[in-house]
Chains A and B, each alone.
Chain A
Amino acid sequence: MRLTLFLTLLLLLTASCTNQQSSGKQLTLAVVSGVEGDALKQAARDYESQTGTHINIAEFPYTNLFEKELIDLKARTGAYDLIMLDDPWFPRFASEQFLTELTPLLERRGQSGPDSDFVATSVALCRHPYQTGPLYALPYVGNSQLFFYRKDLFEKHSLKEPATWQDVLTAARTIQEKENGIYGYVMRAAQGNAAVADFMPIFWAFGGEMFDASGKPSVNSPEGIAALEFMLQLGKYSPPGYASFNADEVGAHLLQGTAAMSINWPAWISSFADATKSKVTGKMEFSTLPAAQRPGQAEIGNWLIAIPRDSQNADAAMDFLLWATSAEQMKRSAERGNPPTRQSLFRDAELVAKYPAYPAQLRSLESSRPRPRTPYWNEIENAFGIFLSKANSGELSPTEAMNQANAEIEKILQRTQATQ
């Protein structure tokens, strides 16, 4: 009888203990579906078993994630303790003061700022205003564009490595003339993100700037128009219909071996090593972007992790954030297929053996540029992309396209400034 009572009490005690533990620490994390989010999801599971902190995961496809997060942050529901966000969304979230400033949380842990191992261009994205302001996020996935080209064809026709855009044009012409069924270059010029992402590195290299020093749009500067003219020249060596291409079509042409060069994102690299997907295994080389009047610069596209302002568990969230972005954990994320944001990992011997493009990726990331930092980037990119696509499909001349794009961007700025 006593024994039974004792056992019951013990059972109750242990039950209440475990209960306390699990209800005490709980975090909710919003992730994107796909390889970037998967790595973080697996990390969350590891964290759970190590610390007992329960982590709920809300997973959404890319475009829905933005909607969900914006609606939630605006309504101040505090539903999420941690959010993954694509860096172009950051200015909007930060300027509306949706995010928790991280420096006080770091200082409480005896750190004065983010680890200096992070690539500078990646950390700069996490500050608002860009590069100089307070810290509101930490970088998790360190993507930046790379230049993809067929090394075998370059050697065969003894072409110079594509260091400048002029080299690229020459090589594209040579390859298309001498090879049967291979286009010299492939680009994507579908309106919206696709056209803008493929154009920005050319635009920057030619000396173009989307906004001048006073913040006025200046895409129709002589440099900007020259860059678009160059894009159209390169378009002559791109497969017909490229004005409606997106990432998939570009990937298909490269993997099938029907195009020789392209700007693309590191996520595609692993496909080229896979003989079931690729007809050009071992023939593709990855380098930094070509130069023109100015050195070549890639567009940066990092996934960041932030803590919403209305999170009730900011401290516990910060513990997880620091753990997930630590060198040890980010190495695991890298092994799962995501480029890191730490210099030490890009130089890690094991990782470089697995991902030979890492040195080029680090060079590209370190010299990369962000898309213009404005809360209205989605609208501006949409408008700019429409006119780039119009020029590439032959509807408008480069000068007309850039003039109209400039006017549209100006209109967006005026409207948003008037309502601010």
Chain B
Amino acid sequence: MPKSRRFFNAPRRRSKHELLLPALFIAPALLVLLALSIYPLIYSITISLQQETASGVKWGLGNFARLVSDNFFLTAMAHTFVYAAAALTCEFLLGLGLALLLNKQIRGRGLFRASLLVPMMLPTVVVGVVWRLMLNPNFGALNGTLKQFGINTESLTWTASPRLAMLSVIAVDVWQWTPFVFLVLLAGLQAIPQEPYEAALIDGSSRWQTFWHVTLPLLKPSILIVLLLRTMDLLRVFDQIFILTEGGPGFATETISLYIYRTAFRFFDFGYAAAMSFVLLALTNVISAIYIRFLQAKEAA
């Protein structure tokens, strides 16, 4: 029976195609990834190991050794962590509170939810420019409003005093990104089924106990996602600060991304900039790993 034999042989002949065809489908994506991610990554590793000298390129860990004694780098790193920790704490607490509030049946819930999302929808550059104008000590809306209430705004130079400048840039970040935290946590809350709450009610647990023992553990996956995403974003913050203060006054709001940018594109020291980028990458990875360990371990327990 030639026909059936052919039929039985068919799968073996097709198996080659079965390997080739998917490979062909994947190839373009793989090539793009190779060209746009893998190659630049390897290239940046090689330039981070190069120091330019008049007599040619010197290979070694010189760029990394320089980090330790570079006050600007260390200060920028410290600023980045202060900024990230403060903004993350505020955004998380505010976002969680708002999500809990607007998860309840209250009047005008839809309107509140929609209007809360506006800041997040704006491009960061626009946010930066708008806030820069609002915070202007002489013509800005904020000081203008405070003056109406009879407050002396002479010393409230928001982006020009070293103490207030950091506070200002953090506040702008909180204004813009709390809605994102709120949105993710609200989605998480709505995915929690009713049964555990009913069980808690029957057991007679207080509202606080219900929150602590039911809501929070069940919300943990959403919390993990939101903390991870925000931390990564905060550690590499660039655009708002660049527009609001450009790292100033002095060095007061210079974060590591700004300093990397300056080193690469103003001083043209790509090797050193690449070395700093790798340190930032390593730190971001370590922090992410800690989150995942911490939150997943608790979930398992």
Contacts and interface: CB of A to CB of B under 8 A. Distances in A.
B53 A243 contact: no
A387 interface: yes
Contacts of B250: 191, 243, 386-387, 389-390, 393, 395-396
A419 B53 CA distance: 5
A392 interface: yes
A191 B248 contact: yes
Interface in A360-403: 376, 378-379, 382-383, 386-387, 389-390, 392-396
A242 B54 CA distance: 41
Contact of B162 (A239, A382, A395, A420): A395
Interface string B125-149: 0000000000011100000000000
B249 A392 contact: yes
B6 interface: no
Nearest to B262: A382
Interface string B54-88: 10001000000010000110000000000000000
Nearest to A388: B250
Contacts of B268: 67, 70, 378
Contacts of B161: 241, 243, 393-394
A241 B251 contact: no
Contacts of B241: none
B162 A393 contact: yes
Contacts of B138: 239-241, 258
Given A382-B266, A386-B250, A244 B162 contact: no
Given A379-B267, A390-B162, A420-B54, A243 B248 contact: yes
A122 B220 CA distance: 67
For the residues of B in contact with A, the DSSP-based class is loop
B103 interface: no
Interface in A220-271: 239-245, 258
B162 A191 contact: no
A394 B163 CA distance: 10
B115 interface: no
A67 B269 CA distance: 12
B194 interface: no
A260 B177 CA distance: 42
Contacts of B246: 190-192
A376 B246 CA distance: 21
A241 to B, nearest CB: 4
B88 to A, nearest CB: 26
Interface string A190-216: 111000000000000000000000000
B28 to A, nearest CB: 29
Contacts of B58: 419
A410 interface: no
Given A242-B160, A394-B162, A415 B66 contact: yes
A389 B251 CA distance: 8
Contact of B53 (A242, A244, A382, A420): A420
A49 interface: no
Nearest to B66: A415
Contact of A419 (B51, B162, B251, B267): B51
A241 B265 contact: no
B267 A244 contact: no
B135 to A, nearest CB: 9
A415 B67 CA distance: 12
A4 interface: no
A273 B268 CA distance: 40
A389 B52 CA distance: 31
Contacts of A376: 267
Nearest to B267: A379
A192 B249 CA distance: 10
Most chain A beta-carbon neighbours within 10 Å: one of B51, B136, B138, B160 = B160
A418 to B, nearest CB: 9
B155 interface: yes
A408 interface: yes
Interface of A: 63, 67, 70, 189-192, 239-245, 258, 376, 378-379, 382-383, 386-387, 389-390, 392-396, 408, 415, 419-420
Given A243-B248, A244-B249, 19 more contacts: A63-B266, A190-B249, A191-B246, A240-B154, A240-B155, A241-B136, A241-B158, A241-B159, A243-B249, A378-B268, A379-B267, A382-B267, A386-B72, A390-B162, A393-B160, A393-B162, A395-B162, A408-B72, A419-B52
Interface of B: 51-54, 58, 66, 71-72, 136-138, 154-155, 157-162, 165, 245-252, 262, 265-268
22 contacts: A63-B266, A189-B249, A190-B249, A240-B138, A240-B157, A240-B160, A241-B158, A242-B160, A243-B249, A244-B159, A258-B138, A379-B266, A379-B267, A386-B72, A390-B252, A393-B248, A393-B250, A393-B252, A394-B161, A396-B250, A415-B66, A420-B53
